[in-house]
Structure 1
């Protein structure tokens, strides 16, 4: 069996899912350069944080903050491994019996069920790579913070460049973490696919709207804008 033989309603729902998941990140980055967004606001704070780090010699509080960020990424990475183990164990003849017991689920061919599970596994594999990469980037950021030159012994331009590069790495780590979290959101839509393609399509659109609202029109964004002021584009 191939995707060409996938039932039309499932093929349309899957295409919409891939478009929403893949297109949301690109669209958010494009819009983030033209209007205030949650990511740009947080990045403004990251820049301020790294600038403060370069102005002081004691980094004990900064190490604690970096430790919290690192633990968050590692927590989701380990959780994703357990989820992947459960999904892989679900593959096989028993999957049909499990799905058949879901309320409102319609009978489908076994290969379609396996395809749904494989797509869900692929999403969590993607999330695992993003969370582990985020953890590695936070490790690198910790080393950079530990190697921050003393303000009294460094030229202001060199110090500003160091802070800018550190803020850029912090932004990359945060972006990887955000992509992993986004994969979890869209995995919820994939779970709805086991009930039916219409449910899958509806939940995909709902998840996309929720993510857009949180990124560009949430109360959190308004609070960050008031705090950052002119730092937000």
Structure 2
């Protein structure tokens, strides 16, 4: 309860702004991407092309290699996130020195050690969320490998025993879900930089949150990569 009295109302509003921007943008990107081409929806189309071609390949070694390469990125971020969480927890044991170091920065707002601990704990929470999303993305890619391994032979598809489109749609949707889950974790990484600005000032925290959300929007809906993929 002491935290509620020590933390100014402006900081609580900044925290509310941070989570509103995070959750609000995630909702916006998911629903706005249905009506307008986004990076995720556009790449989902290529995922469907890939799995549709996989139905006519035998053996499907290349598809297994692609799946393994795709799963290596969330695996790397998962292990990296654990290291970051460990470093932040270790920082909690030396918050006196860390808070003193921040106070020496000319434009940084001076806060108590208790408030500094709160900011570090919020950072820990952000990276814990990122770890769960990255690890779940890894798990989903194992399901993708399972779906690819269960694809019938090209001869069975040609004979009409199975529908290529059905199998390709199911597998591509699973790859898309894994990619979307990975995006959630990566979005947490982006927003952690906005949270870092809170160690300096509340205004910097608010502005950094808005800038990060704008960057996420531009990369998802207005990037050069999206323009190339839509051509």
Q: TM-score, normalised by structure 2?
A: 0.93
CA distance change for structure 1 residues 197 and 98 in 2, over 3 Å: closer, same or farther? same
Runs (5+) with no aligned partner, structure 1: 227-233
Mapped pair 1:67 → 2:72: no
Mapped partners of 1:103, 1:63: distance in 2:
53
The equivalent residue for 2:32 is: 31
**2:185 match:** 180
Ranges in structure 2 where 5+ consecutive residues have no aligned partner: none
Map 1:150-169 onto structure 2 (within 5 A): 150-154=153-157, 155=160, 158-169=163-174
The 1:8/1:163 distance shift into structure 2, 3 A limit, reads same
Q: CA 1:89 to 1:102, structure 2 compared with 1: closer, same or farther past 3 Å?
A: farther
Q: 1:5 offset after TM fit, Å?
A: 4.8
The Cα RMSD (Å) is 1.5
Q: CA deviation at 1:55?
A: 1.6
Q: Secondary structure at the match of 1:33?
A: helix
Aligned equivalent of 1:77 = 78
Instruction: Name the count of aligned residue pairs.
Output: 226
1:44 alignment partner in structure 2: 45
Whether 1:113 aligns to 2:116 is: yes
- Check the 8 A contact 1:149/1:159 in 2, yes or no: no
- Output one character per residue of 1:75-120: Cα deviation in whole Å (capped at 9) or x when no partner: 0000000000000000133332233244521211222111111111
Q: Using a 3 Å threshold, how does the CA distance of structure 1 residues 77 and 102 change in structure 2: closer, same or farther? A: farther
- In the TM superposition, residue 158 of structure 1 has moved relative to its aligned partner by 2.9
Q: Does residue 1:148 correspond to 2:145, yes or no?
A: no
How far apart are 1:6 and its partner, in Å?
A: 2.2
Q: For the Cα contact (< 8 Å) 1:103–1:195, is it kept in 2?
A: no
- Runs of 4+ with >6 A deviation: none
Matching residue of 1:231: none
CA shift at 1:58, angstroms?
2.1
Contact 2:56 2:154 in 1 (8 A): yes
- Work out the CA distance in 2 between the residues paired with 1:103 and 1:66: 49
Higher relative contact order (CA 8 A, sep 6+): 1
* Secondary structure, aligned partner of 1:57: coil
Q: CA deviation at 1:70?
A: 1.1
Once the two structures are superposed, residues 27-51 of structure 1 have per-residue CA deviations (whole angstroms, 9 ceiling, x without a partner) of 0111101111111101001111111
Query: 1:137-190: CA deviations, max 9, x gaps?
Result: 111111211221112214376332111110111011001111111000000001
Q: Distance in 2 between matches of 1:4 and 1:141?
A: 50
Q: Residues 102 and 128 of structure 1: is their aligned pair in 2 closer, same or farther, counting only changes over 3 Å?
A: farther
For normalisation by structure 1, the TM-score amounts to: 0.92
